[in-house]
Structure 1
Amino acid sequence: MNVLHFPVFVSARRLCGHFSLPLPRPLILMAVAGALLGGCAFTPPPREAPPSPPPLPLAVEKHRFSVAGDESVVGQLASVEIRDGDTLSDIARHYGLGFQELAEANPGVDPWVPEAGRRLVLPLQFTLPDAPRKGVVINLATMRLYHFPAKAAEGVISTYPVGIGKEGRSTPTGYMTVVRKTEFPTWYPTENIRRDHALKGDPLPPAVSPGPDNPLGDYAMYLSRPQYLIHGTNKPYSIGFRASNGCIRLYPEDIAAVFPEVKPGAAVRIVNQPYLVGRKGGQVYLEAHEPYEELNRARLKSELTARLKRLEKKDGVVLDWTRVEQVLSEARGIPVPIQANSPPMAAVVAQAIELRRPVAWFGRPELPAADAGGWLVKAATTHEESSARRVAAVLNHQGPPIPARAVKAGDGFEVLAGPFKDDKTAKTVAKRLKIDLELDAEVRPPVDSMHVAGARPLARSGQ
Structure 2
Amino acid sequence: MHRFLNTLFARLALGLALAATGAAPVAAATFALPTDGSTVVGQVRIVDPSSTANTLPDIARRYDVGYEEIVRANPGVSVWTPRGPVVVPGQFILPPKPWQGIVLNIPQRRLYYFPEAGKGQPPKEVITYPISIAREGWSTPLGATRITGKYKDPAWFVPKSIREEHLREEGVELPEYFPPGPDNPMGMLAMRTGFPGIFIHATNRPWGVGLRTSHGCLHLYPEDAAQIFPRLKVGTPVRVIDEPALVGNDRGRWVMATFEPVGEYPDKSPLSVRTSQALAAVPLPADAIDQARVKRLGETPQPVPVALSPSEPDLTAWLRTLPVERYDFEPYGIDANNALLPRLPASEDIELP
TM norm structure 1:
0.61
- 2:209 matched to 1:239? yes
Matches within 5 A, 1:177-192: 177-192=146-161
- The number of residues matched between the two structures is 310
| Structure 2 residue aligned with 1:161 | 130
CA deviation vs aligned residue, 1:307-339 (integer Å, no higher than 9, x gap): 5245346x7972222222233334221101102
The Cα of 1:72 is off from its aligned counterpart by 1.0
Aligned twin of 2:279: 308
Q: How does 1:401-412 map to 2 (within 5 A)?
A: none
SS at match of 1:213: coil
Determine whether 1:88 maps to 2:49.
Answer: no
Higher relative contact order (CA closer than 8 Å, sequence separation 6+): 2
- Alpha-carbon distance change, 316 to 101 in structure 1, aligned in 2, over 3 angstroms: closer
Distance, in Å, in 2 between the alignment partners of 1:191 and 1:184 is 22
RMSD after superposition: 2.7
Distance 2:26 2:322 in 1: 11
Structure 2 residue 165 is the aligned partner of structure 1 residue 196: yes
Q: Rg: which structure is higher?
A: 1
Matched, 1:262 2:232: yes
Give the Cα–Cα distance (whole angstroms) in 2 for the partners of residues 224 and 310 of structure 1: 31
Give the structure 2 partner of residue 97 of structure 1: 65
Give unpaired runs (5+ residues) of structure 1.
1-57, 367-396, 401-463
Q: 1:150 to 1:62 in 2, by over 3 A?
A: same
Please tell me whether the aligned partners of residues 54 and 81 of structure 2 are also in contact (alpha carbons under 8 angstroms): yes
Identity of aligned pairs, percent? 35
Contact 1:131 1:137 in 2 (8 A): no
Counterpart of 2:334 (choices 365, 372, 377) is 365
Distance in 1 (CA, whole Å) between partners of 2:269 and 2:143 is: 22
8 Å CA contact 1:137, 1:270 repeated in 2: yes
Q: Secondary structure at the match of 1:234?
A: coil
| Unpaired stretches in structure 2, ≥5 consecutive residues | 1-23, 340-353
**Aligned pairs (5 A) from 1:57-72:** 62-69=28-35, 70-72=37-39
CA distance in 1, matches of 2:193, 2:108: 21
Shift of 1:85: 3.5
Q: How does 1:114-129 map to 2 (within 5 A)?
A: 114=82, 116=83, 118-129=84-95
Counterpart secondary structure, 1:255 = helix
Task: From the superposition, tell whether residues 364 and 332 of structure 1 become closer, same or farther in structure 2 (CA, over 3 Å).
Answer: farther
- What is the match of residue 73 of structure 1? 40
Compared with structure 1, are the counterparts of its residues 215 and 266 closer, same or farther at alpha carbon in structure 2 (3 Å cutoff)? same
Aligned partners of 1:312 and 1:318 also within 8 Å = no
Give the whole-Å Cα distance in 1 for the aligned partners of 2:26 and 2:255: 21
Which amino acid is 1:106 matched to? N
Shift of 1:207: 2.9
**Higher mean C-alpha deviation, range 224-233 or range 206-215:** 206-215
Q: CA deviation at 1:202?
A: 3.7
C-alpha separation in 2, matches of 1:234 and 1:139: 22
